[in-house]
Homo-oligomer: A and B are copies of this chain.
Amino acid sequence: MRTHTDYLSFTTRQRHELINITERIAAIVAASKVTEGMCLVSAMHITAGIWVNDEESGLKQDVMEWLEELAPEGDYRHHQTGEDNADAHLKRTLVHHQVVLPITKGALDLGPWEQVFYAEFDGQRKKRVVVKILGE
């Protein structure tokens, strides 16, 4: 049995950003030497998530606008602590903050259009993602 752990760091330019990390995850899987297993990708900061969907610029704008409708910036109790990012906590909840990717024959076993995105909802500061691989 093999296990492998790595971390990715992000400091986005924009407050909201979708960053395609599929190739970076594939490189970590290759480094792990795991050929059959599972790869957990999980955003460690509670105002970011992981989204597996399409590398299509229109859809990427659609999803960000739609998240803004369902979890808008605004006035929340959380802001009484001095924070201003409650909406980002809710957006992370909607897209979910993690994914488990299957590894088959040494590669990510993704569908034809599945791409893995780091979804930042309160960026412009350093944040991390943990990648944990288990298998053989």
Q: B-contacting residues of A (Cβ < 8 Å)?
A: 1, 3, 5, 36-38, 40, 42-46, 51-54, 56-59, 61-63, 66, 70-71, 76-81, 86, 89-90, 92-100, 102-104, 109-114, 128, 130, 132, 134-136
Are A81 and B56 in contact, with the CB atoms below 8 A? yes
Are B113 and A51 in contact, with the CB atoms below 8 A? no
Q: How many copies does the complex hold?
A: 3
Question: In the complex, which residue of chain B has the Cβ closest to the Cβ of A127?
Answer: B111
Q: Measured between alpha carbons, how far is A70 from B104 in the docked complex, in Å?
A: 35
Chain A contact residues, majority secondary structure: mixed
Question: In the complex, which residue of chain B has the Cβ closest to the Cβ of A134?
Answer: B38
Q: Measured between alpha carbons, how far is A109 from B129 in the docked complex, in Å?
A: 11
B residues near A102, Cβ cutoff 8 Å: 5, 40, 42, 130, 132
Are B53 and A100 in contact, with the CB atoms below 8 A? no
Q: In the assembled complex, how far is the CB of residue A26 from the closest CB belonging to chain B, in whole angstroms?
A: 16
Are A62 and B45 in contact, with the CB atoms below 8 A? no
Task: Offer 30 A-B interface pairs, CB within 8 angstroms, sorted by A.
Answer: A3-B36, A3-B136, A37-B134, A42-B102, A43-B111, A44-B110, A44-B111, A46-B53, A46-B111, A46-B113, A51-B93, A52-B97, A53-B92, A57-B77, A58-B79, A59-B76, A59-B77, A59-B89, A62-B77, A62-B86, A63-B89, A66-B71, A93-B94, A93-B95, A94-B94, A102-B132, A103-B132, A111-B128, A134-B134, A134-B135
